Amino acid sequence: MDASKYRTPSIEELYSFYADMLYRLAYSHVLNKEDAEDIIAEVFLKVVKKKQNFNDQNHEKAWLIRVTINTCHDFIRRKKLRVFIQLDTIEDIPDEEQTSKDILEHVFQLDKKYKSCVLLYYFEDFSVSEISKTLLISESAVKMRLKRGREQLKMMIGREENV
């Protein structure tokens, strides 16, 4: 689509279209419902203050995800949040097999750079190219982070099976 023809949506339209996805992303980083809600509020406040004009829908989506991830990292740094919670306290996870919940718990424990890539790729169905553009890293860096994230997950699961 020609960038000159793209109409930046209203804040209400952006919120209704992206809030759920951004909430899941924020929640996966901070592991707390209220903190994730606060982060999403802060992200949309930044949208209002910045009055960002997007080139197209991909630019808009990438910008919102990048701002959400950066806001999560800022929040974690400010609070020095290093929380590992029991999975049974997490809300909004559909009833699935216990092994899926265990894997998700391990994903939450990954280093943040691996967690972002793994969550966007496996849970939000982003392509390597989309993750690259969103996180402002090369496609090879995305592939390497996915590989290392999977390796960390295998190690975590292997340790659990040996217990």
pTM to 2 decimal places: 0.60
Express each pLDDT in 55-103 by its tens digit.
Answer: 889 989 999 999 999 999 888 877 753 444 444 444 444 444 445 567 7
pLDDT of residue 141: 95
Instruction: Provide φ and ψ at 53, rounded to 5°.
Output: -100, 120
Asked if 30 and 36 touch (Cβ cutoff 8 Å), the reply is yes
CA distances from 74 to 34, 39, 47, 141 (A): 16, 10, 17, 22
Residue ranges and CATH numbers for the domains of the chain are 1-83 (1.10.1740), 92-163 (1.10.10.10)
Asked if 51 and 97 touch (Cβ cutoff 8 Å), the reply is no
pLDDT of residue 50: 86
